[in-house]
A and B are shown apart, each in its own frame.
Chain A
Amino acid sequence: MKFENLQAIWDTQNDKPVFAMNDARLLVALYQQRERSRRRLFRQLFALLYVVALIGLAGLGLVFFAFLLKSIHIEEIGRDFPMSAWDYTAFAVAAGALVAMVVPMYVARKRHERIQEVFAPSLREELDRGISQLDFELGLCSKPRVASIYGWLTIAVVLFNWEVGRLNGNYAPWDTVWMTMFCIVAGTWPTLAVKKAIDERWIARRRALESMRAALDEDQSSLATEIRENT
């Protein structure tokens, strides 16, 4: 055989490509990535929030009962002051703030997980679910959501510290409030920087999934055209 013949054999690849992306492999890879993403989100955000809320509620309960006991035995102690109606209110508001921080997140996750738990039957659906997962993650990092979590957490922590101060005999522990507020405000900038970095990464991943879906649409429309032309 002459070299020109070998060249002709080689060129058949260009006329009719013998390569293509393996859709099944891609589907599995995307599914695995989505699973990792879901697990990471639960570990790093939801589980953390639940634990913070539980510890916060336990701490509040402890301080509440300590204050209550102190109020009951205030005459035996002979110093400080008992719980007032405002203290009861503060405990209730702090507990409510912790619950308000967690419940919307819990509900949103439950609603989202209903469609995410099932293995997607096709590559297109897997891509759609991947995009929906990223949208969900981006939504969790949206400014209103972050502000709401930050707000509720601030209320809970400030009131908790206020009550701890009062339990220890400080009638108006403003210094603890200012210190807490300072810590929270100081933590805002790093939080926003992390949020921006996460947003950029997720947006890039979303764009990649969208371009895959567009390529899939293009492939299918050209395939449909080819079938139409052949029939």
Chain B
Amino acid sequence: MQQNDQQSVFDQWLSSHKGLFYKVVRAYAFTLHDQEDLFQEIATRVWRSIPGFRGDSAVTTWIYRVALNTAITWSQVERRQREGKQSLDGSAPLKLWHSPTVDPRVEWLYEQIRQLSEVDRSLTLLLLDGFSYKEMAAMLGMTENYVGVKINRIKAHLTSKSREENRYEV
């Protein structure tokens, strides 16, 4: 694949699926600095993955797969690096992303997702974005039954949390 073609595919994917990037970044990275870092990482991996895309799955599935795998790896590396260390970077970086219409209910949901384990975060994102158990299992390398069990636990956890808070009724 020519580099120009790769660039145009990447531009198209980024503009059509920026919401997907945003969701994964927000679910896995807590600080603004980390969010920018993870966004760069995911964008780079997605760019590199383009020649390998054969159209066997939907673009969204492909991007989600790359983005979640990148986010999980990034998150594990970051955690290892930060264990026992405190961030010395007190300065708030300028935000590359911002939320012109911050919905506190969505913010609350992201907060809950961030408290889950890395794999559960992936499952939650895929669940909320309407992927089937089969697709989730294929993406994350699990069995469908295991996905089902996990999803039930996640649903129960999130609903009980929302009841505890009882603030954000739709």
Contacts and interface: CB of A to CB of B under 8 A. Distances in A.
B169 interface: yes
B103 A2 contact: no
Nearest to B36: A25
B7 interface: yes
A3 B19 contact: no
B125 to A, nearest CB: 9
B97 A14 contact: no
A21 B97 contact: yes
B97 A20 contact: yes
A6 B158 contact: yes
Contacts of A10: 106, 109, 128-129
A18 B155 contact: no
Interface in A1-58: 1-3, 5-10, 12-14, 16-22, 24-26, 28-29
A176 B99 CA distance: 68
Given A9-B170, A13-B106, A14-B19, A19 B162 contact: no
B109 to A, nearest CB: 6
A211 B96 CA distance: 18
A19 B7 contact: no
B159 interface: yes
Interface string B150-164: 000001001100110
B91 to A, nearest CB: 14
Contacts of A29: 96
A10 B113 CA distance: 11
Contact of B22 (A12, A19, A207): A19
User: Max chain B CB contacts within 10 Å: which of A5, A6, A14, A204?
Assistant: A6
Contacts of A1: 159, 162-163, 166, 168-170
A6 B99 CA distance: 20
Interface in B85-99: 94-99
Contacts of A8: 170
Given A1-B169, A19-B99, A24 B106 contact: no
Given A1-B168, A5-B169, A13-B106, A20 B162 contact: no
Contacts of B7: 204, 207-208
A3 B95 contact: no
A8 B94 CA distance: 31
Contacts of B81: none
Contacts of B129: 10
A18 B162 contact: no
B18 interface: yes
A198 interface: no
B101 interface: yes
Interface string A208-219: 100100010000
A25 B96 contact: yes
Complex A-B, nearest 7 residue pairs according to Cβ-Cβ distance, in ascending order = A1-B162, A19-B22, A10-B128, A25-B94, A22-B98, A9-B105, A5-B170
7 contacts: A6-B162, A12-B103, A13-B103, A18-B103, A25-B96, A26-B96, A208-B7
